[in-house]
A and B are shown apart, each in its own frame.
Chain A
Amino acid sequence: MRQGVGIDFGTTNSVVALYDSNLRRTEPLTNTRNLPHPSVVWYKADGSVKVGIEAKENLMGYSNVEGNSFVYSVKRKLGKEKTFHIFGHKLRSYEVAAEIFRYLREEAENRKSGYDINEAIVTIPVYFNGFARMELREAAERAGIFIRNFVHEPFAAIVGYCLQQGTGLHTDLMENQLILVYDWGGGTLDITLVQILDGGAVELATAGLEDKAGDYFDDKLARFSRSVLVEQLKIEPNKLNILPSDLDRLRSECERAKIGLSTKTTEAIRVASIWRRDGKLLDMDFHISRTDFNKLIESDVEESLSEVKKALETANVNAKEVDQVLLIGGTSRIPLVRDRLRDLFGHRIVEVQNANTIIAEGAAVVDAMGLQPSLARSINVELSDGTLYEIFKEGLVADTNVCRKKINFFCTDNRDGEAKLVIKDLAGRVSATKPLLKTVLSVPVSSTLPIPYQHERVTVEFALDDDMVLNVSGKGATQKEGVGSHIYDLCFGLKLQGGKNVDEH
């Protein structure tokens, strides 16, 4: 067993955790305030770059000062071909993300002399697509960190939850339990229903919301604050022009107030010199109550509950059957969110103590123990007679060398010039039997009917890549070029102890 390194690269905060295999303990490498490092990058005109708490703390003071540029929530921009204009230079989002990885690596190596953070397991949201994974890998590699594997964040959380410091992983007491991971952070809501089976964790269903999380609430609160200011100043809304750098300050203040409202019933929102009128600089200063904040986010919280119900429905599981609900991520600390979840699951809500670092800690354990994800559901091709032909069986190790197959098909009806490849997943031994995945790939074939008739043959290759994306390519025998598709929303399982992953074809 090796020493493990796990990295939770988050939208709002990021953290590295180490796992000491001898002591069987994890150590999250948080900042001096025992908090994860803010995923904020501060570029200065002199070429220097600051990341983390220093960048976040100076955002309010310097974002409207010439020669300073701040980038936050870069994770949300990965895979979207987004560029940032920093002092005349165009930076791709992975180049900004690389600064965060570089900082995390330096911080970790300074804290733990002798540790070389050049390889790690990095966690990703369930709906992080192939292109985003590719850019995340590029960012880490630019910082000298090779990503050994990606692990879904809810999975890493489960591993972290199963770890008892000093004694290792324990799943015995949770055997057969259904655990719902509700991970609502800064960028996404990830809901994953997991069943502990034979010492392993198997994904039964996933659901979630993209772009509706902590950052979205900050923006909502910023818009609300703006409307309050308009009312206070008694001006037309379109007369209030706030500069983008001042909006950054307002947003940062709203984030602080939002966090404060989780423990207090009212919070002040104060931003100095946010608007200029008649040569005078005006401040924003008002109080917001938790009740008003709840009204702002109520519909989004309800939407998140609909996603929970969707995941339960997909897995054919009743809310009463869920044994534990793990609350992870900053947004899940909002009292309204907790109250609504309590209405649904009662006392089975678990407020994880180390919620800020549990994902990175779980990833470090995965790295140290060499745990490899396996396919939670078999991958099949539907045939023309309605039966399913199994390509990869459930439980197969999600390895690029193992999950690779080439199959020859023939087209039973080529009159419309396309072979329809229908790919479905299926769970055999768990309660969910409905396919979660259905992808159709249309492969061009000849539509002519030569006499004597020759069947149109189609060769299809299935290959899982390093980024856990299933690449499917198909080519008709009479065609010059084939077509391809990428399937990134596969469900995975993880063997935590005892037994082995299925490793045969």
Chain B
Amino acid sequence: MSTNIDIQSNLMVEDDNLDQQYRHLPGDFLAQVYPEKVDRRVIDKECTLKQIIEYEQYLVCSICRKPCAGTCEYSGSK
């Protein structure tokens, strides 16, 4: 039986660059453990593009009040 579901690894090799390890955390998880990193003023500098996208997926939309990731009919993406 074939499937398109794949198990994604959640491990990174520990190296000497300890203060940069947070850049491997998923964006939504990063917001929980290091909220200061996703502050609007520093997010572009502190986070990778992937982390920013992941973080924004879970933000509650100010119009539809759901984490719609900009897809609700009111936010203009549709």
Q: Which residues does A use to contact B, with CB under 8 Å?
A: 381-385, 389, 407-415, 419-422, 440, 449, 451, 453, 455, 457-458
Contact = CB atoms under 8 A, between A and B. Distances in A.
B11 A419 contact: yes
A407 B15 CA distance: 10
B29 A413 contact: yes
Contacts of B7: 420, 422, 440
Contacts of A455: 21
Contacts of A413: 10, 25-26, 29
A451 B10 contact: no
Contacts of B8: 384, 420, 422
Contacts of B12: 383-385, 409-410, 412
9 contacts: A384-B24, A410-B12, A410-B21, A412-B12, A412-B25, A413-B26, A421-B11, A422-B9, A449-B33
A453 B13 contact: no
Nearest to A382: B9
A381 to B, nearest CB: 7
B50 to A, nearest CB: 8
B10 A412 contact: yes
Instruction: In the A-B complex, list the 4 residue pairs whose CB atoms are closest, starting with the nearest.
Output: A453-B33, A409-B11, A408-B14, A422-B9
A99 to B, nearest CB: 43
Given A384-B9, A451-B33, A453-B34, 17 more contacts: A382-B9, A383-B11, A383-B12, A384-B10, A385-B12, A385-B24, A409-B11, A409-B12, A409-B13, A410-B12, A412-B25, A412-B29, A413-B10, A419-B10, A420-B7, A440-B7, A458-B11
B75 interface: no
Contacts of B11: 381, 383-384, 409-412, 419-421, 458
A384 B14 CA distance: 12
B32 interface: yes
B67 to A, nearest CB: 16
Nearest to B14: A408
Contacts of B32: 449
Nearest to B15: A408
A453 B21 CA distance: 12
Contacts of B26: 412-413
Interface of B: 7-14, 21, 24-26, 29, 32-34
Contacts of A384: 8-12, 24
A455 B19 CA distance: 11
Contacts of A381: 9, 11
Nearest to A421: B11
A382 B33 CA distance: 24
A389 B29 CA distance: 23
- Most A Cβ at <10 Å: residue of B10, B11, B21, B29: B11
Contacts of B33: 449, 451, 453
A142 to B, nearest CB: 42
Given A413-B25, A449-B32, A455-B21, A420 B9 contact: yes
A412 B30 CA distance: 9
B25 to A, nearest CB: 5
A410, A453, A457: most-surrounded residue (chain B CB, <10 A): A410
Contacts of B21: 410, 455
B9 A457 contact: no
A407 B10 contact: no
Contact of A421 (B9, B14, B24, B34): B9
Contacts of A382: 9
Nearest to A389: B13
Contacts of A415: 29
Interface centre among A382, A421, A455 (most CB of B within 10 A): A455
B24 A412 contact: yes
Contacts of B14: 408-410, 457
A482 to B, nearest CB: 14
A10 B19 CA distance: 57
Contacts of A420: 7-11
A408 B21 CA distance: 13
Nearest to A424: B9
A52 to B, nearest CB: 45
